[in-house]
Amino acid sequence: MYNASRMSLDRNDHVDNSLPPKRGTLKHLPGMVDRMAITGNPGEKEKINALIEALEAVDIADFLPEGVKGRIVDSPMPIGNEEYQVNMTRPLLSMKMLLELDVGPGQTVLEIGYGSGFVTALLAHLVGPQGRVVGLEIHPDIAKFGEQNIGKYPELKRRIKLYTDDAALLTRTSVAQALGAQQQTVKGFDRIFCAAQMLKIPDSIAVLLERDGVMILPKQHEARLPHIAYIKKAVWFGDKLITINPGIGHPMPAIFIPFMRKDEQGRFVQNNGETHGK
């Protein structure tokens, strides 16, 4: 799907992928660690090690339907039903997105489209006991499935607030309520992880990102190619939220479900109207 560059570190500095036994997600996908590397920058090793700890603590099998647990692969895997044909994002792709997002202890993170809850649980591990994760999922059946999966990890669940709602309706007031903080002390999220592809970032979501925050998202290449998206990083540049290529080497094309809203009749519609930035 894409050809990601690998990290070139001295043999003695490389993450040791031979330590037995593999735990959590890595017991199903043991070779994924060596493929997570992006640039080889010194700080990347620390980020990879933090993500490895999360992957060892969270088992991907706990976030898949029964019929899929026995055939876990590094490819999109189905989590939906006949009505909602939804896949879990390719695990390696999600890991590269998490590394780009650079989530740290104590941060507040918004996840748009939490689906199975797998990335949600990883985010909760990365932010630690003092951090908070707010997850949004617009499809009720998928939201219920994800919430049940996250419930298997009580300690992580305490750091998570889940909502079955339209992400574009989120406000700073509801953010404050979700985080259990005074409104005036919460300006927005430190990080936003979006699992739904967008042509443009809605203003209503842009304003929720802190000025020094980072958003990672699949950005639709152009309107006439609705099924092609590239992973992009969004950051503030003055008063504009701009998207830039992340430091992943080669572009990462992928197919994600589109960012959806509910219309006045309660129907799911693709939202590419109100926009912010380029």
Could you give the CA distance from residue 163 to residue 134 in angstroms, rounded to a whole number? 8
pLDDT at 15: 47
pLDDT at 159: 95
- CATH fold, domain 89-270, is Rossmann fold (3.40.50)
Could you give the CA distance from residue 71 to residue 66 in angstroms, rounded to a whole number? 10
pLDDT at 63: 97
Per-residue pLDDT of the chain (278 residues; tens, 9 = 90+): 333 333 333 334 444 444 556 789 999 998 888 887 655 666 778 889 999 999 999 999 999 999 899 899 998 898 876 666 788 988 998 998 999 999 999 999 999 989 999 999 999 999 999 999 999 988 888 899 999 999 999 999 999 999 886 665 666 666 666 666 554 455 689 999 998 888 788 888 898 999 999 999 888 766 555 566 788 899 999 999 988 887 654 455 566 666 655 555 555 555 554 433 33
pLDDT at 186: 56
Could you give the CA distance from residue 220 to residue 199 in angstroms, rounded to a whole number? 5
Q: Which tokens in the block code for residue 213?
A: 């925050």
Closest CA to 34 of 7, 56, 13: 7
pTM of the model: 0.81
What 3-state DSSP class applies to 150?
helix
Phi, psi angles (nearest 5°) of residue 241:
-95, 115
Angstrom CA distances, 126 to 47, 81, 119, 191, 210, stand at 10, 30, 10, 12, 18
pLDDT at 83: 64
In sequence order, the 6+-apart residues with CB closer than 8 A to the CB of 216 are 97, 100, 101, 191, 192, 193, 194, 231, 232, 233, 234, 246
Listed by start position, the domains of the chain span 89-270
Closest CA to 166 of 73, 262, 70: 262
> Which pairing describes strands 77-78 and 132-136: parallel, antiparallel, or unpaired?
unpaired
Helices (H), 91-206: 91-101, 118-127, 140-150, 154-157, 172-179, 203-206
